[in-house]
Amino acid sequence: MGSRAVPYGLAHPATAAGFLLVIRIIRMTTQAPSATTRGFIKAVDRASIGFARNWLAVFLVVYGVWVLLPFVAPVLMEVGASGPANALYTIYSLFCHQLPERSLFFFGPKPMYSLQEIGQFWSTDNAIVLRQFVGNAQLGWKMAWSDRMISVYGGVWLGGLLWAFFASRGRTPRLSLLAWILVGVMPLAIDGASHMLNDIVAGTTGLGFRDTNAWLAALTGNALPPTFYYGDQLGSFNSWARWITGFLFSLTTVFALFPIIDESMQGTARDAQRQLARVISYEE
């Protein structure tokens, strides 16, 4: 039988030897990074390692400031610093509708007010105009975001503190993504979407299905006080729904996503540590 031709590839001894020779030449001719380059790489690697190992602490501090500032806006208004206060209202208006009937007020006789009460001092005919009301000396001053945003954004910060507590004891509770969607995302989406639909259809009339909640009154046989069904003030169904769904979303978000973020950060720290060791080896 005639011999078959063997393809001339890396498996061939001559090719393998040639390949190894090329590698040796590259290693011999490749220069080590300069001292300046090594210094820069080491600084970046050490910063990456430090951040990756302490990302949660950095997050809690920076994000904590973000969560706190909406509470500062009414304080600034009360002391007459309207310029900085209005700057905060403007910045946070990008993240919240800031409707006053769904916001907390400081330095007034009540923590929340109905549309009718706000209408005594400000136009309630248009939502865009209505959201611009920040309060006055009679009612107090509005926070820079609504009650739902307090529970959502503030809940993430509180959840982060709770997760840090468990992590400091070597335990990092983890929630499945399915549980996060079912318990955290869907209730918030249903409540938020129904409010949005209500506002689109009924506007600021106060007569929408999520304003009166007549459907809930019928389901419960009007067993609860009228103030529970109507409006958005503290103690009402709408208020409870926003607080509860907001905190459910934020807390489940932390326990579903923070473990994933932490694993990624630990991987980043390991990679940076290996690269740092390689750079240091050039100096030995």
User: What's the pLDDT tens digit per position in 141-198?
Assistant: 999 999 999 999 999 999 999 999 998 888 888 999 999 999 999 999 999 999 999 9
Give me the residue label for tokens 């549980």: 179
Question: In the chain, how many domains are there?
Answer: 1
Whether 270 is covered by a domain: the verdict is yes
Whether 142 is covered by a domain: the verdict is yes
HSE at residue 38, side-chain half, CA atoms within 13 A, is 13
Cβ distance 69 to 87 under 8 Å? Answer: no
**3-state SS record for the chain:** CCCCCCCCCCCCHHHHHHHHHHHHHHHHHCCCCCHHHHHHHHHHHHHHHHHHHCHHHHHHHHHHHHHHHHHHHHHHHHCCCHHHHHHHHHHHCCCCCCCHHHCCEECCCCCCCCHHHHCCCCCCCCHHHHCCCCEECCCEEECCCCHHHHHHHHHHHHHHHHHHHHHHCCCCCCCCHHHHHHHHHHHHHHHHHHHHHHHHHHCCCCCCHHHHCHHHHHHCCCCCCHHHHCCCCCCCHHHHHHHHHHHHHHHHHHHHHHHHHHHHHHHHHHHHHHHHHHHHHCCC
Whether 2 is covered by a domain: the verdict is no
Whether 229 is covered by a domain: the verdict is yes
Q: What is the structure's pLDDT at 178? A: 96
Whether 145 is covered by a domain: the verdict is yes
pLDDT tens digit string along 197-236?
999 999 888 899 999 999 999 999 999 999 999 999 999 9
pLDDT tens digit string along 60-99?
999 999 999 999 999 999 999 999 999 999 999 999 999 9
- What is the chain's Cα-based Rg? 30
Domain with 153, as residue range(s), is 52-275
Q: Over 70: is that where the pLDDT of 2 sits?
A: no
- Confidence band of 6 (pLDDT split at 50, 70, 90): very low
Q: Over 50: is that where the pLDDT of 250 sits?
A: yes
Whether 241 is covered by a domain: the verdict is yes
Whether 126 is covered by a domain: the verdict is yes
Whether 266 is covered by a domain: the verdict is yes
pTM: 0.81
Q: Rounded to whole angstroms, what are the CA distances from 239 to 4, 231, 244?
A: 82, 8, 9
